[in-house]
Amino acid sequence: MAAERGTPAEALVGQVVLPGDLLLLPAHYDEDAEGERLRLSGGAAPQGRLLCGPGLRRSGAGLLVTTCGLLRHRPGGGGAYWVDSQQKRYVPVKGDHVIGIVTAKAGDVFRLDVGGSEPASLSYLAFEGATKRNRPNVQVGDLIYGQFVVANKDMEPEMVCIDSSGKSSGMGIIGQDGFLFKVSLGLIRKLLAPKCEIIQELSQLYPFELVIGMNGRIWVKAKTVQQTLIIVNILEACEYMTAEQRKQALAKLSGN
């Protein structure tokens, strides 16, 4: 590819791109003050923002590819470009909801393994209703579902288990039972997509609890250990199965 000269981004949508490739954008995209978001400048008021997603970063007149994978584009508004890759190494991103494993207690802070290059910190006050006298019962080895509020290359990642209004919103300590496993980040994005067919089809097979972390970790708990393992195996296989193959496998399990 002509990485140095650059290639129009719209011409590479759906194709494999490599780190170092330069994707050129149409002339009507201008960089805004944030540097990573682009804005339409062809009218009196901006019509939307073009978002620079995972695997890309702003570079001069276009976007520089930082991850190997398929280039994707979402139209509408300003639209978005990102690289759909099968990477398993997670890089913390502010706002991501992840599953962490408590590895240590250090004073008033818990250290969590989130699958990144360094552990994340979680204050004992970052739980709903937590005070100096009412501390959460968090032990080493517990699973925590939380959100990053600080995540950049110059600072230690920091997590919380409350939203902006101080509510847990489903975050906090995950139950002791259940099964935790790891998948690629590409499968995670697929499962978190609105109206995901995989989740809808599985919910018709067995009732179960499911927690999905953007760091590639999934926690599942069904009524029995056997049902839990069946759901785990199906979710792991979904990455390599077509929709028809998945439906056939689910039909055999349901006895239809």
For the chain, the structural domain boundaries read 1-28+49-85, 96-173, 179-254
User: Tell me, which fold does domain 96-173 have in CATH?
Assistant: OB fold (Dihydrolipoamide Acetyltransferase, E2P) (2.40.50)
Q: Do domains 1-28+49-85 and 96-173 have the same CATH topology?
A: yes
Instruction: Please list the pLDDT of the chain residue by residue as tens digits (256 residues).
Output: 444 478 888 888 888 898 888 888 876 555 443 444 444 333 333 455 677 777 888 877 688 888 888 888 887 766 788 887 766 678 888 889 999 999 999 888 999 999 888 899 999 999 998 888 888 889 999 999 999 999 887 788 999 999 888 888 889 999 878 999 998 888 888 888 888 888 888 888 889 999 999 999 999 999 999 999 999 999 988 888 888 888 888 888 776 5
Quick one: which of 57, 51, 151 has its CA closest to 97?
151
Give the dihedral of Cα atoms 46, 47, 53, 57; nearest 10 deg.
Answer: -40
Give the dihedral of Cα atoms 193, 126, 94, 110; nearest 10 deg.
Answer: -100
CATH number of 1-28+49-85: 2.40.50.100
Quick one: which of 66, 89, 84 has its CA closest to 18?
66
CATH number of 179-254: 3.30.1370.10
Instruction: Report the greatest alpha carbon distance in the chain.
Output: 61
Distance CA 107, CA 147 (A): 21
Q: Token digits for 226?
A: 């056997």
Distance CA 166, CA 215 (A): 23
